[in-house]
Amino acid sequence: MNMRKNLAVAMIVKNEELNLPKCVESFRKHGLNPDFYLTDTGSTDSTFEVAKNLGCSIVQSKQIPIKRFHEARNESLSNVIGDYKWLMTIDADEELDENLAEEIKNFIENPDSYDNYDAAWIHNTGFKDVCYNSKLQIIKQELFMNGTVKYKYNLHEEFDRDNLDKSRIKDLYGYLWHYSLQERDNSLENKIRKQEWYISIARNFVNEEPENWYPYYILACQMSYYLRILLKYPEYLNKIDENELSQEIKENFENAFVLAFKTNPEKVEYRFLIRCIVCYKSFLESTKDWRMFFNSYKEYQDYWLSLIFRTFQEFPIHPIQIIYLAEIYLNRNNPNDTRKALYWLEILDKLERPRYEDLIGMTDRLVNEVPLEMLMMSSWNAGKKKESLMYYMRLQEVNPENYLVKENRSWFETYKFMLN
């Protein structure tokens, strides 16, 4: 009688001769011994030989070069041969640390996991201090084989969760080393070529699904990142018309929101809509100057107020939306708007913390400290000194080294002494 093996790991690889050994060994040295199935998408180095020496199965992809990442990812899972309980995806330039390996090992070796869960989503808690949702995912092999779960999205692919019961998805947390281009050609030219390739895939994605909000979001974010690189190195700006590209980025962000608002909210992945808001604001304030698109700062602020309140009508309230609202109201420097900021910040203070994956792209400081900073300062400006002191004390507990805690420590400690 054949016993089902616990785990198979599927990867899409290209020119990974340097990274692949580290990835595979990060499983083995921490007590995980899955079978590895690699699908090569056009390597010109010794990836095939390295894979075979490591005991991995490797085959040539039917899609060279990659035009749709979700198809390549599904192909790699289809290339798994044998009967397994769980399938896992990872990239060759990623490496598990001991704690993450232990989390995965405990999950797949626990007999109750198979009965109680259909999948596990692995959240990388080690991307500096940023909440980062990894593509590492574990799924029952039978659910992939029968078509219940497949990868979707041409670029920045994700498992389609529509047919999964969320209560049967296990959240796992740990540190994932991501080497990206560090071990390969990390030249600026290569980075620019890679972004241009991603943009071409995203453009095709938009053309194939013109009524879907998500491709516009992906294209806008990819183009924004590309522009940010070129602005950092002006000698490359002659590759583009900066104003034309900037206008196209803004139009793609706006198309994303228009289509998202027309879509059944249950079909819009919340974390990506929030990420779209964050990327759009970063584009208008960091990559470009809002003055390019708006006649006055008030017009710009009103635009954002309208956009955020529109999202409130369809989707759950998210911390970053309230932080943006409060920033706008506090920047207006009048008592009425300060009260509005306080109103929303007090709502934020009572909000249940979103799922980790819905905090994607937010720093720990933005989640845990900034709301308390804003509450402390706006309460003070509104004449609510006792409330301001309370928020100061809570902020001090979160981070005694917070710059506002240090700047205001003497005054608040004196005020606290006077109250006692």
Tally of domains in the chain:
3
Residues 228 and 335 in one domain: no
DSSP result, 243-257: HHHHHHHHHHHHHHH
Residue with tokens 């080294």: 401
Residue 95 parent element (H or E): strand 94-96
Cα-flanking dihedrals φ and ψ of residue 10, to 5°?
-110, 135
294-305 b/e with 16+ CB inside 10 Å = b?
Answer: eeeeeebbeebe
pLDDT of residue 132: 47
* β 5-13/35-40 pair status: parallel
Residue 271: which pLDDT band, with cuts at 50, 70 and 90? confident
Boundaries of domain holding 398: 327-420
Q: pLDDT at residue 381 above 50?
A: yes
Segment 114-132 mean pLDDT: 71
Contacts of 21-25 with C-beta under 8 Å, sequence gap 24+, read 21/50, 21/54, 22/95, 22/179, 23/90, 23/91, 23/92, 23/93, 23/94, 23/95, 24/54, 24/56
Q: What is the CATH number of the domain that holds 338?
A: 1.25.40
Structure tokens, 76 = 């790699």
- Classify the C-alpha dihedral 25-30-35-41 as positive or negative: negative
What does the alpha-carbon distance between residue 350 and residue 20 come to, in Å, rounded to a whole number?
Answer: 46
- Report percent pLDDT > 90 for the chain: 61
Residue 160: which pLDDT band, with cuts at 50, 70 and 90? confident
Q: What's the predicted TM-score (pTM) here?
A: 0.82
In a domain, 278, yes or no: yes
Read off the pLDDT of residues 348-369 as tens digits, 9 standing for 90 and up.
998 887 665 666 666 778 888 9
What does the alpha-carbon distance between residue 167 and residue 116 come to, in Å, rounded to a whole number?
Answer: 9
In a domain, 320, yes or no: no
More confident residue, 332 or 158: 332
Residues 287 and 341 in one domain: no
pLDDT of residue 181: 46
Q: In one letter, which amino acid is 125?
A: T
Residues 130 and 252 in one domain: no
Report the mean per-residue pLDDT for the chain.
88
What does the alpha-carbon distance between residue 366 and residue 132 come to, in Å, rounded to a whole number?
Answer: 14
CB 168 within 8 A of CB 116: yes
Partnered with residue 133 across adjacent β-strands are: 123
Residues 84 and 137 in one domain: yes
What does the alpha-carbon distance between residue 135 and residue 124 come to, in Å, rounded to a whole number?
Answer: 9
pLDDT of residue 1: 43
Question: Which of 287, 315, 343 marks a domain boundary?
Answer: 315
Q: What is the dihedral of CA 361, 366, 367, 371, to 10 degrees?
A: -150
Please work out, in degrees rounded to the nearest 5, the angle formed at the alpha carbon of residue 308 by the alpha carbons of 153 and 195: 35
pLDDT of residue 355: 66
In a domain, 322, yes or no: no
Residues 22 and 81 in one domain: yes
Residues 305 and 360 in one domain: no
